[in-house]
Amino acid sequence: VLTYEEAINHVSEEEENECSGNDDKSAWQLGLNCQHVPLQFKRYSKSESLTRSEEYYELMNKRRTVRHFSKESVPIEVIHNVIKTAGTSPSGAHTEPWKFVIVKSQTIKEQIRQIIESQEEINYKKRMGKEWVDDLKFLRTYWVKEYITDAPYLILVFKQTYSVDANGKKQMHYYSEQSVNIAAGILLTAIHYAGLVALTSTPLNCGPAIKVLLQRPAEEKLALLLPVGYPNDDCVVPDIKRKALEELAVVH
């Protein structure tokens, strides 16, 4: 634990990585041709805010991670809308460091499943180790992933660490990790609000092969893979509890 003096002078490795010296004016240049306009803001009364916050909590508290998908189709427009919603996320210097790849092709889903199952078998048997595998047992997961080919859509969230404009100029993406994770959270809320279910999966050691399969460029890294659709009729979920407010939050 650092003292206050040490903490105030401390730069974490992650924060250091965001800094490339103050000679890079590209983020400022972006701002020079950007006008500022009045905020569009709908004001609610305090009691409306209270009601709305309660209602939204009740809605989101019904979201569950699902691993048993029906093959029933979903209109592609719903998928487009949830991705547009994810695209409303805040991002470092508004660099929007994300790309969402929608997979609806059964052939590509099968290829992805093949990559993931072959890697996950090694993960469970070797890479993850006994403690991690034991910690997961209550989820009843293993390396066979029917959901990848059952779900009507896979949404793959790619993080862009930088982008390259039409002139070949590199634009740094600041806080791409945080930004893409926030976008993923908003994506999950949109999927839930639309009446669909998803599995937030992070296939270990599969990113490079999936990236080649989907022909993603060098600057993109696979962050998350979400099967999206409806639960099947036999769908069960673990009977888990969530932290209560007293455990979630402290007030100073």
Residue nearest to ligand IYR (CB): 141
**Residue choice 93, 182, 204, 235 for contact with ligand IYR (CB under 6 A):** 204
Binding flag, residue 181, ligand IYR (CB under 6 A): no
Cβ 2 to ligand IYR shortest distance, Å: 29
Q: Please, is 228 exposed, middle or buried when counting C-beta atoms within 10 Å of its C-beta (0-12, 13-18, 19+)?
A: buried
11/139 with CB nearer ligand IYR: 139
Cβ 98 to ligand IYR shortest distance, Å: 21
93/204 with CB nearer ligand IYR: 204
Query: What count of other Cβ atoms lies within 10 Å of the Cβ of residue 195?
Result: 9
Cβ 210 to ligand IYR shortest distance, Å: 13
> Which positions from 107 through 166 interact with ligand IYR, judged by CB under 6 A?
120, 136, 139, 141
The set of long-range contacts for 168-175, using a CB threshold of 8 Å and a minimum separation of 24, is: 171/26, 171/95, 172/20, 172/24, 172/26, 172/27, 172/95, 173/91, 173/92, 173/93, 173/95, 173/97, 174/18, 174/27, 174/92, 174/93, 174/95, 175/18, 175/91, 175/92
**Residue choice 70, 91, 176, 201 for contact with ligand IYR (CB under 6 A):** 201
Cβ 230 to ligand IYR shortest distance, Å: 20
Site string for ligand IYR, 42-71 (x = CB under 6 A): ------------------------------
**Distances, alpha carbon 23 to alpha carbons 11, 19, 27, 168, 244, in Å:** 19, 10, 11, 19, 47
97/224 with CB nearer ligand IYR: 224
**Distances, alpha carbon 87 to alpha carbons 102, 160, 172, 187, in Å:** 14, 13, 18, 8
Cβ 204 to ligand IYR shortest distance, Å: 5
194/204 with CB nearer ligand IYR: 204
85/200 with CB nearer ligand IYR: 200
Cβ 251 to ligand IYR shortest distance, Å: 30
Cβ 142 to ligand IYR shortest distance, Å: 7
Instruction: Determine the size of the site formed for ligand IYR (CB under 6 A).
Output: 6
Q: Which residues pair with 98 in a beta bridge?
A: 159
* Pair 98, 183: CB distance under 8 Å: yes
76/139 with CB nearer ligand IYR: 139
Q: Kindly list the residues in this chain that would bind ligand IYR in the complex (CB under 6 A).
A: 120, 136, 139, 141, 201, 204
